[in-house]
A and B are shown apart, each in its own frame.
Chain A
């Protein structure tokens, strides 16, 4: 691992751009947002557990669990993984393919119901 940075090169310089060392200048967004999202994630997980014990199993309950999972995913990717501070084009590039997966999940669950009857 090279720890010997060439101090003559400005690693943040966008004009003399060197992709091997270039990094954008980091700036903190503070810790308040992180803790807010932590309490939300904790609350949603506790809501999961409450629903598990107090709502009888049903198709609707499964949909609620998956929806809560997606909400948790949005907070983890958006805040913890800093996606909401990235450029829109980049966020789209990463997040959009995952939307197609949702269709595939629904499709295969539907298919699975028939395999048992063959």
Chain B
């Protein structure tokens, strides 16, 4: 009969944290790694399905718009993507067909208050900048927390929450544009239904993460205002919430790359 004793003298013996990292932060990182797998699987699925369709080849970018303007639009009226003639015209010209993957710049080319002007990528670039900026305000809140500066943590967290809400509002507008054009998760006037299904799935899943991040930020903000972290003696909760928030930004970098740039 031998009894095994666990030595706690070594760094891996259980008596200390070998990575010099707290339990909560370690678990947050492991959660983020598993979440990264989930998003990777979605983006890999997107890539594989997208390249199983031929790309739109007969759509020279801006010229298409001028052609449609001449051929289909009533005289003197600005071309509008979302009423009556744009989508039927594109279908007539075999630019939008069930078998061709639509060029994203013919689908996502709107900007608020600039109705009917072809502006591909501008709105989603604005969304990207909002999210990068809110990531910076978050890391400034974390840095302030490391110095135990309650007022600065509150200030930067407030801006981060505002950035998150701004991003979600932009995404709601983008979805509204796509839905009013007639897209649903099982049908898509721009091309194969798979395009719309994947768009709703991936940006929806990301948007839900942003929403959860805003909720977590609000909880941390209220706690910080009430002095919970000051009493606890450290602001590590801000770091953990911050890790989640940066992860959401990181995922958006790749959603932006795969959905809009490529």
Contact = CB atoms under 8 A, between A and B. Distances in A.
A41 to B, nearest CB: 5
Contacts of A3: 228, 231-232
Interface residues of A, number: 58
Contact of A17 (B15, B142, B223): B15
B61 to A, nearest CB: 9
Interface residues of B, number: 64
Interface in A77-118: 77, 79-82, 86-87, 89-90, 94, 97-98, 101, 104-105, 108-109, 111-116
B246 A81 contact: yes
Main secondary structure of the interface of A (DSSP, over half): helix
B48 A108 contact: yes
B129 A109 contact: no
Interface of B: 15-23, 26, 29, 32-33, 36-37, 40, 43-45, 47-54, 121, 125, 128-129, 132-133, 135-136, 138-140, 142-143, 145-147, 223, 228, 231-236, 239, 242-243, 246-247, 249-250, 253-254, 256-257, 261-262
10 contacts: A26-B236, A31-B140, A34-B139, A38-B133, A76-B249, A80-B242, A105-B47, A112-B50, A112-B52, A115-B49
